[in-house]
Each structure stands twice: as C-alpha cells, then as structure tokens.
Structure 1
Amino acid sequence: MINQPYTSLIKTTGKASRFIFTCILCIITLKGLAQDKTKNIGNKLRKGSTNNSFNIVKGAQVGIKMNAGGKTVQLLKLSFDVDNLAKDTIAFKVNVYTTGDKGPLDNLVKDEIKGTVIRNNQVTGEVINQLISVDLAPYDVRVKGKILVSVEFLNTNPNASLGFSCGLLNGGTWYKRSPEQEWKKMPVVGADFNVLVKKLK
C-alpha cells in the first residue's frame, strides 16, 4: 500500500509537469503568432548577375511596385543590394507612393526617411556590393494594396552611378532620371527591393 505523503508527492509532481508543459506551449504559440504578424513584400533579395545602373542626379528616383495586400500594414524595413560605382558616399531618401496604371500618385511619407550608400574602396578602386537596409518603423508609414517604393537621390554626382541588383521578369523597374522627367517603366528587369511589413489588426 502506497502511503499518503508519497501519493501527494506524485500528484504535486504531475501538476507541476503539466504546468511547465503548458507554459512552454504558450511560449511557442506566442512566438509563432509574433512571426505571423510580419511578412516580406517586393522582390527577393540577391546579389544578382543582372545589374541596372542609374546616374546620380538630384531628384532622380528608382523603385518598384509592390502589393501590400488587402489589409493595412506598417512598413518596417526597406532592403536592397547595390554597387556604388561612384567615388563618394551617396545620400538618398525613401518615398512610398500610391499607384495607378500609369505609375506613382501620392507620396505617403510625411517625414524624410534618409539613407546612404558608402563610397567604394579608395585604395584599390574596388566596387563594394552593399546590402542597404533602411529602418522605416519610426515613421509609421501604413499602406494597403499596390504601392511603389522608391529611393530618391539627394545630390547630383557627375559621372557617377549606382548599380542595383535586379531580377528578370519580376515586375519591372520604375524610374525618373531627373525631377522634371515623367515616370517610366523598364518592363523586363526589376530592382530587388524588399520591404518587411507588420500586419495590423
């Protein structure tokens, strides 16, 4: 016959085990829910064999269309790979537009979101391929549906250009070679711009 204290110990141990198991299950579930709240939109990041170069002209822009989905999301981070073909650091800002059939419409960014591409190796002249990431979260840019995300050069750098990593047949690249020029689309080759977004309730 099992004595009473031993039986109570077994019951207590069993309850503790169930409690620990439940806590672990809750943690795993919460992590899964947190991961489910973010997603990536745009093109796949890669150091592509295809490379599109654009001259550094103040007010010129390069971007792609993305589908943010039918529900509102907040933009968290823009990422893209680029080769700096200039000898200087290149400053840019990020724009986010609503879109129509003919291209960008209204800019949804209220404050300037700035970024930089560092200069190439000044000793060897080697071009540096860089993964550029811009934190968008502090600016609380909220979107849904189709948008166009672009980078706009803040200064003119004569005889200099940036080479954006691109993919084939992935939606094309939209660009303006100067502030005065109308938006145009390069239909076959799309810059590999990628945006991390957070789903909102």
Structure 2
Amino acid sequence: MINKIVSKYKATFCSSNGVLIHPNIDNGIQPTLDNFNGGELKCHCGSKAVTVEIKSQSAHNHACGCSKCWKPSGALFSLVAVVPKDNLKVTNNESKLKVIDDSAAIKRFACKGCGVHMYGRIDNTEHPFFGLDFIHTELSLQKGWSAPEFAAFVSSIIETGTNPEDMAAIRNQLTSQGLTPYDCLSPVLMDVIATHTANN
C-alpha cells in the first residue's frame, strides 16, 4: 500500500516540476498547531509495528540531505525534528529496533522489519545536542507537529547520487517552499554548537 502511494506521488509530482523534495513538503507543508502536545510514531510494518510515544511538541524540524537520515522512497531529503529524550518512550515492539551505526554520533534506532528509523539518540554527554532525540514526525497520524523551518546539508545529496547540475533547481524549489537551504545547519543551531564549544 505504501509503495503504491509513493509511486502515485512520484508520477504526479515529477510531471509538475521535476523536483522531488519530500512528500510532506511537496504536497503542502502542514502548519504548526498551538498547544500541540505530541503523539505516536509508528513504523511501516503491517503487523507488530514499533510504536513510540512522544509527550511534547517537536522543534527545529527541517529537511536534511545527509546520507544517514531515513528518507521515504523517492524523496531527496528526510524530515527531521528533535524532542527532549525524556519525552520519548518506545511503547510497542522495542525488541524489533536495532542501531544502524554504533560509531555515529547519533545512534539511529531502526525497525528490523521495515527499515524505518524510529528515533536517533546521542550518548555523548559532551555533544551540544545531548538530551535531544531526533524523530521523523511523518510517522505520526497526528497533525500539528512543528513545521519544517529550513533545509540542512543540501550539498550532501550529491554524495548519494544527485546530479550536481540539478542543485540550482533543487535549491530554488526549497526556497519557494520557504525552506532556506544551508550546507550545514541553520544559523540558530550553528550558534548553539559554537556557544557550546566556546564554553567547554
């Protein structure tokens, strides 16, 4: 069912402007809802799905072009947000989760069945983002999560096969959706990193 939806999305969107970003961007960005207090994330397995409860609104949602983040089939970018790790709890089938890369700064817990990344966690207490978990709010049926604010690591999609000649059109598409493209994180988050480094 999911593959059929993705195929229909790809056919429709490619015919309109030729640039795939992410379904939740291309099909219209949903607004952030005031007083939204979280919801449930669910993997793509048809049975015994992994579910994760989030007890807060997400923050710093953005399109990410890095090669580590999970992306739906056909999308150039993932959508990633953060929540306080104390507000995240695996509620069903935690035994199906495995860490994709133990050497990475962000330990990404993926479902062994469908491959979807359910959350990412930082173990290093010295990391500037320690205490925050990384999630994909598109895995939730609830509406109202924080809307994407920018695009990060845009050039990195070249590393995963994007033609460099297409980058201008991709950046223009991101900008037209209100997502300023950066080849790092947003200035606000880069300032957080720099401040952490300066104070340690």
Say which structure, 1 or 2, has more relative contact order (CA 8 Å, 6+ apart): 1
User: Which has more strand, going by share of residues?
Assistant: 1
TM over 0.5: no
Name the TM-score class by shorter chain. under 0.3
- TM norm structure 2: 0.24
Larger Rg: 1
